[in-house]
Amino acid sequence: MNFEIDATEQAIVDAAERVCREVLAANAQRYDETESFCAESLKALGELGFMGINLPEQYGGFGIGSLAMSAVVEAVSAACASTASALTAHFLATDSILIGGTEAQRQEWLPRCASGELLGAFGLTEPAAGSNPADMRTRAVRENDGWRIRGSKHYITNAREADFIVLYAKTDPEAGARGISAFMIPRGTEGVTFSNPEKTMGLRGSTIYELALDCWLPASALLGQENHGFRTAMEVLDRGRVEVAAMSLGIARAAMEYALKWVDERQIGPKPLSAYQGTQWRIADMHAQFEAARLLTMKAAARRDSGQRFSLESATAKLFAAEACGFITDAALQLHGGYGYIRDLPLERFVRDARILRIFEGTSEVQKIIISRAVLEAARQ
């Protein structure tokens, strides 16, 4: 498997690292403390074209491979995980158009999404349908040459800030997962109302909302083909899980950097903390977890670019990297002792931000279901 990126991609990753260091990292603590949406950081990424790094050149993207894209997401997340969450939610929306939309819809929406002019949201989860989205109750019914959408969604990232929401709804309730379609809901659509932003544990610079829907959409709002929505959503989530794995690497990397510096600086008795074998073993465990997570993420990214199915690889990378990030951020905080618990340092923010990685885009338990199903199926052949 080839994990190399070319010189053009490396230049793009370097540019991302630069803007992350200079702009995103400077905003991260303020967003967290004031619980304010990461608008300036998204704008800075948009101005450099990073809102379209998941898209081919013909739709305004950079046309880079998934390895380079993962490296960019890692850089964004290392600087500000909230911004990475808002950015990757936008990718879920634009991937939905790329995978499920007609050519005319791709042309209409994607170039403006890539340029940063439009921000997207991805509306799948409902109060009664999280781990099993096929149980969704939001209905789309034909009405006056268009569609009447009735129902609710919750925990939708970017929903109120977004210029459009890709919303999944049941068009054929008898058909289960085969009766779901996707719709484009532009900002300002009458009959779409939002809750206040939810008060979250981490990612406080990214927002999630509950939506109540009783709205009419024209026929053209149907994204691609009727009843093909579930397949689209599952393919989109396969791609998204590689990005969550890359987000995990970013937060873990930032926590590791603090820990490595600190253990040399902190004197405990006659010697620095790094001179104790207990510390060295902890550092070795953190490193091994990080390297394994990065290799699994790279493998999933390479497989994604190969054109083969990559559900197994993306679920494995997401499961392992999210769990590793939890371990690494906790270990980094522990190495700081009481200082790690004080909000002057971002260690406690890293722990809070990392927690969601084991929940969204499919919990760790859901990844295990996907992995075991694929592994058992392969073994039976």
Check residue 232 for interaction with ligand FAD (CB under 6 A).
no
- Exactly one of 291, 361, 365, 377 is catalytic; name it: 361
Give Cα 50 distance to the centre of its chain. 14
Out of 31, 37, 50, 122, which residue is the one contacting ligand FAD (CB under 6 A)?
A: 122
Nearer to ligand FAD, 9 or 235 (CB): 235
Check residue 89 for interaction with ligand FAD (CB under 6 A).
yes
Q: How far is CA 38 from CA 30, 95, 141, 254, 368, in A?
A: 9, 21, 36, 19, 32
Out of 9, 95, 348, 361, which residue is the one contacting ligand FAD (CB under 6 A)?
A: 361
Nearer to ligand FAD, 199 or 271 (CB): 199
Question: 126 — phi, psi (to 5°)?
Answer: -130, 165
- Integer Cα distance of 80 and 25 in angstroms: 6
Nearer to ligand FAD, 156 or 335 (CB): 156
Site of tokens 């919990």? 363
Q: Is 195 helix (H, G, I), strand (E, B) or coil?
A: coil
- Annotate each residue in 178-217 with x if it binds ligand FAD (CB under 6 A) or - if it does not, as one string: ----------------------x--x----x---------
- Annotate each residue in 307-346 with x if it binds ligand FAD (CB under 6 A) or - if it does not, as one string: ----------------------------------------
Token output for 381: 């052949």
- Integer Cα distance of 115 and 49 in angstroms: 6
Q: What is the crossing angle of helices 81-100 and 103-114, to 10°?
A: 160
Out of 41, 66, 152, 157, which residue is the one contacting ligand FAD (CB under 6 A)?
A: 157
Provide the pairing of β-strand 222-223 with 208-218. unpaired
Check residue 164 for interaction with ligand FAD (CB under 6 A).
no
Active site residue 126: no
Out of 365, 372, 373, 377, which residue is the one contacting ligand FAD (CB under 6 A)?
A: 365
Closest distance to ligand FAD from the beta carbon of 315 (Å): 13
Out of 300, 356, 357, 371, which residue is the one contacting ligand FAD (CB under 6 A)?
A: 356
DSSP 14-64: HHHHHHIIIIIHHHHHHHHHHT---HHHHHHHHHTTGGGTTS-GGGTS---
Which one of 47-55, 101-109, 150-158, 313-321 is the stretch in contact with ligand FAD (CB under 6 A)? 150-158
* CA angle at 2 for the pair 327 and 284, rounded to the nearest 5°: 25
DSSP state of 128: T
Out of 27, 105, 125, 138, which residue is the one contacting ligand FAD (CB under 6 A)?
A: 125
Residues 101-120 that bind ligand FAD (CB under 6 A): none
Q: What element of type H or E holds 321? A: helix 311-335
Token output for 272: 């620095």
Q: Is 169 helix (H, G, I), strand (E, B) or coil?
A: strand
Which one of 16-24, 142-150, 326-334, 364-372 is the stretch in contact with ligand FAD (CB under 6 A)? 364-372
Nearest residue to ligand FAD, by Cβ distance, number only = 130
Provide the binding-site residues for ligand FAD, judged by CB under 6 A. 89, 122-125, 130-131, 155-157, 200, 203, 208, 356, 359-363, 365-366, 369
